[in-house]
Amino acid sequence: MTAAAPGFRVRLADWARDVEALRRIRHAVFVVEQQVPADLEWDGIDGDCRHALAEDAAGRPIGCGRLLADGHVGRMAVLAPWRGRGVGAALLDRLVEEARRAGQRRVVLNAQTRALGFYARHGFVPFGEEFVEAGIAHRAMERPLD
């Protein structure tokens, strides 16, 4: 585990071992809060992704994100009471670090339009037109790693 900030920690997670924690966060944030259909949320590729998991001081899961083998970051989610405290930033940093270690030259993501500012503050630049996925407006963004 690596310390990220007082009150929580971010670590790499394993889909098989940490499936319950990862599913609990994404169910609360995407399926319940954002009304993403469950069959879109559980897209069958989690077993092929690297995952980052944030836990509070008691070890309870509070946030997560994933990195695909092609350098795409996705499914960034922080439980509502924990937002605005740097958990999302720490998760994103961890996934970008993983992408760099894996030899990726850039990290790409599809940002919900409302989260563009969050990713822009972490070096991501939007490209292409806005599009709708799971009923939510998105924009592609990238961050070169060179």
Ligand X SMILES: CC(C)(COP(=O)(O)OP(=O)(O)OC[C@H]1O[C@@H](n2cnc3c(N)ncnc32)[C@H](O)[C@@H]1OP(=O)(O)O)[C@@H](O)C(=O)NCCC(=O)NCCS
Residues that bind ligand X (CB under 6 A): 29, 76-78, 83-89, 111-112, 115, 118, 121
DSSP string, 78-102: E-GGGTTSSHHHHHHHHHHHHHHHT
Is the Cβ–Cβ distance between 124 and 95 less than 8 Å? Answer: no
What minimum distance in Å lies between the beta carbon of 125 and ligand X? 15
What minimum distance in Å lies between the beta carbon of 7 and ligand X? 12
What minimum distance in Å lies between the beta carbon of 136 and ligand X? 8
Residue nearest to ligand X (CB): 88
Distances (CA, A) of 32 to 27, 38, 47, 73, 83: 6, 9, 22, 21, 16
For ligand X, which is the closer residue by CB, 21 or 77?
Answer: 77
What minimum distance in Å lies between the beta carbon of 2 and ligand X? 16
For ligand X, which is the closer residue by CB, 81 or 103?
Answer: 81
For ligand X, which is the closer residue by CB, 16 or 58?
Answer: 58
Q: Using only C-alpha atoms, what is the Rg of the chain? A: 14
